Amino acid sequence: MKKTAIVTTVFVAALMLATAGFAGQNNYGCGLGSMVFENNDSVVSQTLAATTNGTFASQLFGITSGTSNCEKPESFVYNEKVKVFVADNMDNLAADMARGSGEYLDTLATLMDVPQADRASLYNTLQANFSSIYTSDQVSSTDVLRNMDSVL
């Protein structure tokens, strides 16, 4: 009996030690700072939070993680793919825009169908007008799209 109790205790303790730091939920939103948090890697690496919307149709028909929590973007000149991408990548896109280069900016230009030759000037315009695009720390992806539209 005693041995069984010790084995159980030891095994549970070992597992607790080996798995310390499992917690967290994905927290996608649509403004700045709505990103994945540390310590929920357990939820993402071999596991998937039950709340994550990973159905194929929702991916292919453009209702992704970010936009599902957001106010619906008004109809702009921008296509659905641009809206979804901006909503899902607000922070990394902001950094690229402020520095005038980067992978997120390149993807934005690709989704907007901007030819390679025109990209340098697009990036310059976006960088120069960064403060009028990301206007405040409460800015939403819809605001960013609208402000981009008025700058360009």
Binding to another protein (CB under 8 A) within 20-49 occurs at 20-24, 31-39, 41-49
Burial class (CB in 10 A: 0-12, 13-18, 19+), 102: middle
Nearest to 88 by CA among 143, 26, 24, 28: 28
Binding to another protein (CB under 8 A) within 106-135 occurs at 106-107, 110-111, 123-124, 127-128, 130-131, 134
- Smallest gap, in angstroms, from Cβ of residue 71 to another protein? 18
- Residue 98 lies near another protein (rule: CB under 8 A): yes
The dihedral sign for the CA sequence 71, 75, 76, 82: positive
Binding-site size for another protein (CB under 8 A) equals 77
The Cα–Cα gap between 140 and 94 comes to: 12
- Smallest gap, in angstroms, from Cβ of residue 13 to another protein? 7
The Cα–Cα gap between 30 and 16 comes to: 35
- Smallest gap, in angstroms, from Cβ of residue 75 to another protein? 20
Binding to another protein (CB under 8 A) within 51-70 occurs at 51-52, 54-57, 59-61, 64-65
Radius of gyration of the chain (CA): 21
The Cα–Cα gap between 82 and 105 comes to: 11
- Smallest gap, in angstroms, from Cβ of residue 123 to another protein? 7
Q: Which is nearer to another protein, 57 or 72 (CB)?
A: 57
